[in-house]
Chain A
Amino acid sequence: GAGVSQTPSNKVTEKGKYVELRCDPISGHTALYWYRQSLGQGPEFLIYFQGTGAADDSGLPNDRFFAVRPEGSVSTLKIQRTERGDSAVYLCASSLVGGSGLTEAFFGQGTRLTVV
């Protein structure tokens, strides 16, 4: 596709349930990021993939959060035993990391997660 695609756009789940959020990055982009944005706040870093491996997962808040990118393209953010405090917009971004380093990161429209 032309841009970063995230599905679903909205997800409502009950407290304690398991959810998966999907991100399709721009084709050919090797770097993929997950961010969480709470209302009125800036995006908060969760995890960064370079290819298939998680190069930096220092932003994951606890072990209920996990992300994978098995083939170096699509990524899934998984949240176990959801809590009401997990409610936020989850943003995915991708970029092409070249020889000169970082290039522009393109964001998807986000998945709005509501835990009730």
Chain B
Amino acid sequence: AQSVTQLGSHVSVSEGALVLLRCNYSSSVPPYLFWYVQYPNQGLQLLLKYTTGATLVKGINGFEAEFKKSETSFHLTKPSAHMSDAAEYFCAVVRSGGSYIPTFGRGTSLIVHP
């Protein structure tokens, strides 16, 4: 079985500050990893993904994430927060092999203060 833990249901930062959203996963086999963003009253949109290859992945809107196998982590970062980054962020894992059932974390709400 696989699981995803997102530390902190809410993260609050000032505009211009570093954004760090944490995601840890458990999987017995190499996973595929995703970050999605959800703006109010909308569906989810892909921010970035890791499948194979380079462990530092760059996504849209200046976000990036690093796959650290030894730490089973896939934390999302952005050097400088913008007001428009305020949204709900979800980390997701899909196991390689098997039935490819996705598992989502519970989400982290990013609050950006002016």
A binds B: no
**Which A residues fall within an 8 A CB radius of B?**
none
